[in-house]
């Protein structure tokens, strides 16, 4: 995989937004897989700025959600559907029907998972999937020891992830749902381009294991090593435990500008 080391979170956002803009210029109706959490915010802001400045036409873009909490009432502000509509779909000026996601409040959650997996394929597959990484190495909500071949399904969150995500629920872990729907690792690997963005020192261990460790389900993000077009964009802090950091810097510096990520 390609590892791109940038100075800080803002530079990471700009780098990934440029890549998305490049994709949309080549394929205006690209299906963009988006992640939630704090990390991708700079990407969405940078892409919105490019769209407003007329640098890229995003009007035909389609947006697909990566994962969702189970059991939050429909319209809950911290459901990932609400987050994606608020942070991506609305700022880009897209209509809600440009958006697809799993139904976390469905009565039959298993059927909702299967339906979403099918819907992604029927939509032609994800062109670029943006991913964050959990401190335990998860992608989407695929917690450690998720099957590397898994499909969209229900998962139980680890205590660590519930602690990490409590900040979105007034710091109250009891409000963080225990169950989630997530695109499986096998589903994620079907996207044409995977872009994992990680910023901050608290991600350094997970990034080093994912990039330089063995492919292992105990570090779900290591599955990116199996993908023919996977890019990991990290700021200096998140790159601080990479043994090959200098090699990654030299490789990226030698790459022609036009090539993108």
- How many alpha carbons lie under 13 Å from residue 211 in its C-beta half-sphere? 30
- Cβ-based nearer residue to ligand GLP, 2 or 78: 78
Q: How far is the CB of 25 from ligand GLP (least distance, A)?
A: 26
- Cβ-based nearer residue to ligand GLP, 59 or 147: 147
- Cβ-based nearer residue to ligand GLP, 13 or 134: 134
- Cβ-based nearer residue to ligand GLP, 14 or 67: 67
Q: How far is the CB of 67 from ligand GLP (least distance, A)?
A: 5
Name every residue whose Cβ is closer than 8 Å to that of residue 234 and which is 6 or more positions away in sequence.
3, 4, 5, 6, 12, 197, 198, 199, 203, 207, 242
Q: How far is the CB of 141 from ligand GLP (least distance, A)?
A: 5
Question: How far apart (Å, rounded) are the C-alpha atoms in residues 151 and 184?
Answer: 4
Interacting residues with ligand GLP (CB under 6 A): 35-39, 66-67, 132-134, 140-141, 161, 165
Name every residue whose Cβ is closer than 8 Å to that of residue 61 and which is 6 or more positions away in sequence.
24, 28, 29, 30, 32, 92, 94, 98
Q: Residue 17 in contact with residue 88, Cβ under 8 Å?
A: no
- Cβ-based nearer residue to ligand GLP, 18 or 165: 165
Q: How far is the CB of 15 from ligand GLP (least distance, A)?
A: 16
Note every long-range contact of 163-168, with CB atoms under 8 Å and residues 24 or more positions apart, other chains counting.
164/134, 164/135, 168/78
Q: How far is the CB of 77 from ligand GLP (least distance, A)?
A: 16
Q: Residue-wise over 114-141: b if at least 16 C-beta within 10 A, else e? A: eebbeebeeeeebbbbbbbbbbbbbbbb
Question: How far apart (Å, rounded) are the C-alpha atoms in residues 176 and 157?
Answer: 9
Q: How far is the CB of 256 from ligand GLP (least distance, A)?
A: 30
Q: Which residues are catalytic?
A: 67, 136, 138, 143
- Cβ-based nearer residue to ligand GLP, 66 or 245: 66
């Amino acid at each position: 995989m390609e590892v791109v080391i940038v100075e800080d979170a803002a530079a990471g956002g700009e780098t990934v937004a440029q890549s998305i803009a490049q994709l949309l210029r080549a394929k205006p109706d690209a299906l963009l897989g988006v992640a939630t959490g704090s990390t991708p915010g700079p990407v969405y802001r940078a892409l919105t700025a490019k769209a407003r400045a007329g640098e890229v036409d995003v009007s035909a873009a389609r947006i697909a959600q990566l994962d969702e909490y189970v059991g939050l009432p429909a319209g809950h502000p911290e459901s990932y559907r609400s987050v994606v509509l608020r942070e991506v779909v609305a700022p880009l000026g897209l209509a809600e029907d440009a958006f697809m996601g799993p139904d976390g409040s469905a009565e039959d959650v298993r059927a909702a998972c299967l339906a979403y997996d099918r819907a992604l394929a029927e939509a032609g597959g994800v062109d670029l999937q943006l991913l964050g990484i959990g401190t335990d190495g998860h992608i989407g909500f695929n917690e450690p020891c998720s099957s590397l071949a898994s499909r969209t399904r229900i998962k139980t969150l680890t205590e660590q992830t519930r602690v990490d995500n409590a900040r979105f629920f007034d710091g109250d872990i009891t409000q963080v749902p225990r169950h989630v729907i997530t695109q499986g690792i096998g589903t994620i690997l079907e996207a044409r381009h995977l872009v994992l963005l990680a910023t901050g020192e608290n991600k350094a261990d997970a990034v080093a294991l994912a990039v330089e460790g063995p492919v292992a389900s105990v570090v779900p993000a290591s599955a990116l090593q199996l993908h023919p077009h996977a890019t990991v964009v990290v700021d200096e802090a998140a790159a601080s435990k990479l043994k090959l950091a200098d090699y990654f810097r030299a490789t990226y510096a030698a790459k022609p500008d036009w090539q993108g990520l």
